[in-house]
Amino acid sequence: MLPVGTPWWLIVTGCLLMIFIGKKLFGGIGAYPAHPVMLTYAMLHISWPQHFDNTKALLHFDWDVPMIDVLQISRTYGQHGEALFSWQDLLMGNQVAAIGNGQILFILLGGILLLLMNAISWHIPTAFILGVVGMSAILNLIDPGLSASPLFHLLSASTLLGAFFLATESTTSPVNPIPMLIYGLLGGVLLVLLRSFSSHIDGIAFTILIINFVAPLVDRITPGIRGMELETHA
Amino acid sequence: MNPLTQLFNKPPTVKLVDDEVLNMPAPDYVVLPMDYTQRELYSWQVEIGDQVRQNQIIARNSMGVCLHTPISGKVFDIKPVWSEKGVHVPAVCITRGAGDIVSTDEIFDQYGVSRNQASFDDQLKALGIHPPWLPLAIDSVTVNHTPEVITNLVVVGYDEEPGIYIQYNLLIQKFDAVVQGFNLLKKILPNATQTLLTDRQASLQIKGQLPQNIQLKSVAPQYSARLLDTNIPKLLNIRFDHDRDYALQGAVVISIERLLVLMAAIEDSQPFTTKHLTVSNKAPAEQRTIRIHHGSSIRSVLEFTGFSKHKPECIIAGGPMKGIAQFNDLTPLTRSTDGIHLIAEDQIASGSGESCINCGACTRNCPVNLQIHLIGRYVEFNNFNSAKEFHPELCTECGLCSYVCPAQRPLVQFVKLCNQYGNQKNEHTPKIECSIESPLEEWDQHCTTSADMGSCPHTCH
């Protein structure tokens, strides 16, 4: 999630913040209200914004890739900027992104592996992707200059990482099927909105944090308990 | 275990139908508990030192249902013992001795009615069988409840618990007797539509052989699809309350084993003194279905079947999911035990109770849709009042939540704890004062070595 060339002290600070504020302060594993990694990322991002410029970090590399953050293109030119990238390039990771964010194909494979291993359920990733596709399609239909096409959003930066690895974190996500769908959908919609209208280029950290705090609320939508209805019928 | 390896691991194949059901000979002594799952409470009619004969009535419950001794001999003690449900219950202990079999007429004499005058229900009760078309509780009997009000008969031909194959064995081995049993019940319950509920494997085997008037329904092989608590309401489209009494709703639900016992009682006047039982071992997977006399100890069953060679660390009475781990191997097996499951020391899940990671597998797998992940956490921190808001009392204790929990948390135990101690206003101080040592240990050593067991001077005080 951090750019190439991040100074060592930033990583150490992040680790300490994550363990002590993100996890231990709330009671350790299983008790934290927000994704510790995303909480730390947001804190670092707000404190040292100058170290979070992916394009600047990659400037001195000899690399045959358009040296501009893909999401910056989407914000500035909308669909008109997409010609710089083919979708195969995006899929293979030929894009300016932070470490681990841009390797779309391998993130996808990892996500499918998690699904096969039953480590995550399909609800959240599906709903998250649907939310991204739906919201970006709406914005794109309103004005092609406002947002890139759904496929571009899906294959750029941290969309799939968020869908498969961040939003599905079990402690901070709902457990019932319908709340999981709502939670994922909300995340996808929010991600596209933050990307298009907020002051941050990639709003993934804030998206995950906000839906984490919504999770206990939507998790109150529970299926009816079998046997409960009897009390009224008896 | 790593879920990835589970993708490639096939479950071990076990021979499901035995060639014949083994009949275990009468044990040296029997211990007959007087309390079955807190529903059937018996009061005994014998004294310490009495000589009893095989099939003699020794106890009776408030409904008039009798309990018979499976062996002749001497009552040498009446004392609380651990039952297979993990509770202390009074029990009558009988050592084997000389004595002939009580005839049917004598059974009715002991019951207090002559055989010709007794009603059909009374005849069954005298033989130790609760007529399945009568409600379970005594206060419901005052309602005029005749067999004619029964509109549904469901014979359950599968075992809910994995690793128990009593009904399957009986269905395949005694198929003709099962069909006869259906015909017999057609005469007793003329208005009932008859259904046989089996699993897929059995339904494929018997397809086409059933008479037209019996419907055949099958259930999926997964444990969650086999739970009777959810299958019967779905099948009959009737809502049952939590403390389910099928007869009150016009339905009779009995297993194939009970059907055969009922038939033996009606046609041959045989009292209910034997029980089928599947003894299974976790690893290496092995199982055997046998027939035992009521009151045989687990130790004698394991020695008879040769399963004591596995040196089990944990003995579970009732099957791997809903069963209860036993304090020791002298617990008597009775009419409510369907199986014994043995687990070696290295196979026991640690169950150490790691902290919950909120993955929700328990809640998504719950057949009654309880929010187990919340109940478990509240109970863990003694917050019973908050836990009660999620209705833990509706739990059927099927054990799926504990089974799927990746952190191996004792979730069923949390729910049970909440239901048992939750009313004490967050002051949870269960006091366990009973010793887990069985008083039967002394008797077992004496009775199985003594040559003249009928006149045991050791414990008959």
pLDDT tens-digit series, residues A141-183: 888 877 788 888 888 888 999 999 999 998 999 999 999 999 9
Q: In this predicted complex, what is the ipTM?
A: 0.84
Which run of H or of E encompasses A178? Answer: helix A177-197
Residue of A nearest to B372 (CA): A175
Size of interface A-B (CB pairs under 8 A): 61
> What's the CA gap between B204 and B199, in Å, rounded?
9
Rounded to an integer, what distance in angstroms lies between the CA atom of residue B338 and that of residue B335? 8
Residue B188 predicted with pLDDT over 60: yes
CA distance B355 to chain A (A): 7
Q: What's the mean pLDDT in A107-119?
A: 92
Give residues with Cβ within 8 angstroms of A45, minimum separation 6: A52, A200, A205
**B140 vs A22, higher pLDDT:** A22
Query: Residue A152's closest CA among A104, A208, A199?
Result: A104
Given CB atoms, is A220 within the 8 Å cutoff of chain B? no
- Quick check: A28 pLDDT over 90? no
B194 DSSP β-pair partners: B153, B214
β-pairing verdict for B73-82 and B88-96 = antiparallel
The single-letter DSSP state of residue B125 is H
Where residue A42 falls among pLDDT bands split at 50, 70, 90?
A: very high
Task: Note whether B79 and B439 are within 8 A (CB).
Answer: yes
pLDDT of residue B108: 84
Q: Please give the structure tokens belonging to residue B55.
A: 């099939």
Give B-chain residues touching A181 at CB under 8 angstroms.
none
Residue in B230, B241, B369 nearest the CB of A224: B369
- Contacts of residue A227 in chain B, CB cutoff 8 Å? 241-242, 368, 394
Residues in chain A: 234
Q: Which residue has the higher pLDDT, A55 or A209?
A: A209
- Output Rg (C-alpha) for chain A, integer angstroms: 19
pLDDT reading at A47 higher than 90: yes
- Cβ-Cβ contacts under 8 Å for A65 (sequence gap 6 or more): A89, A94, A95, A96
Question: For residue A233, what pLDDT is reported?
Answer: 42
Q: Highest-confidence range of A83-92, B134-143, B345-354, by mean pLDDT?
A: A83-92
- Are B378 and B389 in contact by the 8 Å Cβ rule? The answer is no
A175 closest CB neighbour out of B4, B363, B391: B363
In which band, very low, low, confident or very high, does the pLDDT at B439 lie, cut at 50, 70 and 90? low
Could you count the other beta carbons within 10 Å of the beta carbon of residue B355? 15
Q: Which residue has the higher pLDDT, B453 or B294?
A: B294
**Option in B4, B239, B364 nearest A175 (CB):** B364
B339 contacts B280 by C-beta, under 8 angstroms: yes
A101: closest CA among A128, A63, A61, A69?
Answer: A69
B100-125 average pLDDT score: 83
Paired tokens of B380: 């863990």
What angle, 0 to 180 degrees and rounded to 10, lies between the N-to-C axes of helices A36-47 and A8-16? 130
Token code pair at residue B234: 């779905």
Spatial distance between the Cα atoms of B53 and B58, rounded to a whole number of angstroms: 10
Say if residue A125's pLDDT is above 90: yes
H helix and E strand count, chain B: 15, 20
Question: What are the start-end ranges of the E strands in B210-351?
Answer: 214-219, 251-255, 274-281, 286-293, 296-297, 314-317, 324-325, 332-333, 339-343
Helix (H, G, I), strand (E, B) or coil at A129: helix
Rounded CA-CA distance B3/A120 in Å is 12
Tokens of B415: 């729910």
Residues of chain B whose beta carbon is less than 8 angstroms from a beta carbon of chain A are 3-4, 7, 230, 239-242, 355-360, 363-364, 367-371, 373, 391, 394
Predicted pLDDT of residue B381: 87
> Does the structure show a pLDDT above 50 at A232?
no
Q: Which residues in B lie closer than 8 A to residue A36 (C-beta atoms)? A: none
CB A142 within 8 A of CB A152: no
**Measured between alpha carbons, how far is A107 from B69 in angstroms, rounded to an integer?**
68
Alpha-carbon span A3 to B316, nearest angstrom: 56
Mean pLDDT over residues B196-205, rounded? 88
Q: Do B3 and A119 touch (CB under 8 A)?
A: yes
pLDDT band at B101 (very low <50, low <70, confident <90, very high): confident
Distance CA B152, CA B122 (A): 23
Which spans in B274-360 are helix H? 298-305
What residue ranges define each of the domains in chain B, with the CATH number in brackets? 13-21+273-347 (3.10.20.90), 25-126 (no CATH), 138-268 (3.40.50.11540), 361-421 (no CATH)
Inspect the interface and report whether the beta carbons of B358 and A30 lie closer than 8 Å: yes
List pLDDT tens digits, range A200-226.
Answer: 888 899 999 999 999 999 999 888 887
d(CA B443, CA B461): 13
On whether the CB atoms of residues A147 and A153 are closer than 8 A, the answer is yes
Using alpha carbons, list the distances in angstroms from residue B270 to B287, B310, B334, B356: 28, 36, 17, 53
- What is the spatial distance between Cα B219 and Cα B239, in angstroms, rounded to a whole number? 19
The pLDDT value recorded for residue B453 is 43
pLDDT band at B461 (very low <50, low <70, confident <90, very high): very low
Distance CA B394, CA B415 (A): 10
What mean pLDDT do residues B157-163 have? 87
CB-CB under 8 Å, B368 with A117: no
pLDDT band at B438 (very low <50, low <70, confident <90, very high): low
Is pLDDT above 80 for B58? yes
Residue B230 pLDDT:
81
Query: Residue B172 and residue A223: Cα distance in Å, rounded?
Result: 39
Phi/psi region, residue B425 (left: phi>0; alpha: psi -120 to 50; beta: rest), is left
Tokens of B458: 């050791």
Cα of B256 to nearest chain A Cα, Å: 27
Residue B133 has pLDDT above 90, yes or no: no
Chain B positions touching A31 (Cβ under 8 A) are 355
Which helix H or strand E contains A208, and what residues bound it?
Answer: helix A204-218
If one compares A106 and A102, the residue with the highest pLDDT of the two is A106
Helix (H, G, I), strand (E, B) or coil at B193: strand
Query: Residues near B427 by Cβ (< 8 Å), separated by ≥ 6?
Result: none
